[in-house]
Amino acid sequence: MNRKSFLKKFGTGAVALTTLQALPFQTAKAFQGQKWTSKNYAWVSNHNGTDDELRARLELMKNAGLDGILPSGNYEKWIRLSEEFELDVHAWFVTLQRGGDQWLIENHPEWFMVNRNGESSVTNPAYVDYYKWLCPTRPEAQEYILGKLDEILKLSEIKSVHLDYIRYPDVILPIQLQPGYGIVQDKEYPEYDYCFCDACRSKYEKLYGEDPMDLENPTEHETFSQFRYNQVTHLVNKIAMKVHDHGVKLTAAVFPTPDIARSLVRQNWPDWNLDAVFPMQYNHFYHKPVEWIGHAAAEARKELPATTEMYSGLFVPEMTPVEVSQAYEFAMENGANGICIFSDHSMTQEHWDFLSRVLLKG
C-alpha cells in the first residue's frame, strides 16, 4: 500500500501518523521512502555577493525543492531576486537581543534587562559583548519593537514576520556551547539569570506582593517562572495582533522543545499566537544523535495546537549530508510540516544532493 492509498484508507495525515506509530517495525519500515507533503525553508544570514551570485544560491535552493527563504536583512533585495525563482520570503527579525542597536543602547539603557546581581545587560553582558537584551515588560519597549515592525510590514510581499531572539538570555547554555566560554553551568547562576530590572520587580511585586530579588529560591519558584514566560508571551501576542492586521503571518525561531525552551531561556512558545514555529532542533548542541530530532518534533507537536505548523530547524555545519536527509524523515514522521536549514550557505553540493533526494522523490 503506498502512502496515497494508505491515507485514503485511514483518513487524514494526523490519523495516519498515529496508526503508523502503532504498526510493527517491519510494516512501518515499508512506509519509508514515501513522499511527504511538506514545505521547506532556509535561514539566510549571508548577504554577500552580486545579484548573479545570490541568484545562483536561490537556484540551488529551488532545485533542491525548497519553498522559501528567511533572510536576516536586505529584505527588498531578496524579495526581488526570489520572485524570479518563485520562492517565498519571510522576514527574519532579531527581536529582544539588541546588542547592535546603538541608538537604543545610548538613549534608553534603562529599558534593558538586569540580572539577579543587579547588573544591566548593557554594562555587563553575559557570554558575549552583544548580549544586550531589551526587557519585554516595559510598555515603551513593547512600542519600540512594534514600531520596528512597521518597516517590515511596508513590504507587502513578505509572507511572515519571523521572530528570533524572542526570549531571555540563556540562564544555562546548551551543553555543547559551555566549554567554548570556559564555564560549567550545573545550576542557575545569578549573573545569567534575568530579568530583575525595576519594571519587572515592581510589576511582580504589585501582582504577588513580593520583590523577586527577595525570593528565597527564585530558580524553582513557579509563580516567578510563569511571570517571566508571560512577559515574552504577552509581547508575542501583541505583535501577532499587529502582524495579522496587516494580513501577514507570524512565525518564530525557538528553542528545540517546549521543556528545553522554558528551562534554558524562559520561552513558553506553545502559548504563543503563531502561525508556524521553527524549533531549532540542533541535536549536536545537546549532545544528541540525529534521531533525537524526531523525539524533539514529537514533543513539540504534543503541546502545539494542531493548526500551528512546525518546521524543524537543522544546524547544517555539524551534520553530514546523509544526516540532513535522515533528519527530514525523522521530523516528518513525528508531526513536522517540513524543515528549515541553517543555513543555505553551509550546504555543500553533497548536502543538497541528499536533501533533494528526500524532498523531490515520489
**What residues contact 5, with CB distance under 8 A and at least 6 apart?**
none
Report the nearest approach of Zn ion to the CB of residue 109 (Å).
13
**What residues contact 172, with CB distance under 8 A and at least 6 apart?**
185, 188, 192, 263, 264
Map residue 278 onto helix, strand or coil: strand
Question: Would you count residue 141 as binding Zn ion (CB under 5 A)?
Answer: no
Report the nearest approach of Zn ion to the CB of residue 170 (Å).
16
Question: Would you count residue 163 as binding Zn ion (CB under 5 A)?
Answer: no
Cell reading at 198: 525595576
> Phi and psi at residue 233, in whole multiples of 5°?
-60, -45
Report the nearest approach of Zn ion to the CB of residue 104 (Å).
15
Report the nearest approach of Zn ion to the CB of residue 106 (Å).
19
Residue from the set 87, 135, 265, 293 that interacts with Zn ion by CB under 5 A: 135
Report the nearest approach of Zn ion to the CB of residue 116 (Å).
12
Cβ distance to Zn ion smaller for residue 202 or 348: 202
Question: Would you count residue 326 as binding Zn ion (CB under 5 A)?
Answer: no
Is 255 in contact with 265 (CB distance < 8 Å)? yes
Question: Would you count residue 314 as binding Zn ion (CB under 5 A)?
Answer: no
Closest CA to 347 of 21, 7, 59: 59
Residue from the set 82, 97, 137, 334 that interacts with Zn ion by CB under 5 A: 137
Report the nearest approach of Zn ion to the CB of residue 214 (Å).
16
Cβ distance to Zn ion smaller for residue 195 or 280: 195
Cβ distance to Zn ion smaller for residue 197 or 261: 197
Cβ distance to Zn ion smaller for residue 265 or 310: 265
Cβ distance to Zn ion smaller for residue 35 or 234: 234
**Cα distance between residue 275 and residue 244, in whole Å:** 10
Question: Would you count residue 96 as binding Zn ion (CB under 5 A)?
Answer: no
Report the nearest approach of Zn ion to the CB of residue 237 (Å).
18
Q: Which stretch binds Zn ion (CB under 5 A): 130-138, 171-179, 222-230, 334-342?
A: 130-138
Cell reading at 153: 510590514
Cβ distance to Zn ion smaller for residue 200 or 341: 200
**Cα distance between residue 65 and residue 213, in whole Å:** 51
Number of Cβ within 10 Å of residue 229's Cβ equals 19
User: Rounded to 5 degrees, what angle do the CA atoms 87, 295, 280 make?
Assistant: 40
Cβ distance to Zn ion smaller for residue 140 or 350: 140
Cβ distance to Zn ion smaller for residue 195 or 276: 195
Helix (H) or strand (E) holding 299: helix 292-303
- Kindly provide the residue ranges of all beta strands, DSSP E only, lying in the chain, ordered along the sequence: 41-44, 68-71, 88-94, 160-164, 249-254, 276-279, 309-315, 338-342
- Contacting Zn ion within 22-51 (CB under 5 A): none
Q: Which stretch binds Zn ion (CB under 5 A): 84-92, 93-101, 136-144, 276-284?
A: 136-144
Cβ distance to Zn ion smaller for residue 200 or 331: 200
Report the nearest approach of Zn ion to the CB of residue 223 (Å).
16
Q: Could you write out the three-class secondary structure of 127-187? A: CCCCCCEECCCCHHHHHHHHHHHHHHHCCCCCCEEEEECCCCCCCCCCHHHCHHHCCCCCC
Closest CA to 349 of 117, 6, 56, 137: 56
- Contacting Zn ion within 187-206 (CB under 5 A): 195, 197, 200
The contact set with Zn ion (CB under 5 A) reads 135, 137, 195, 197, 200
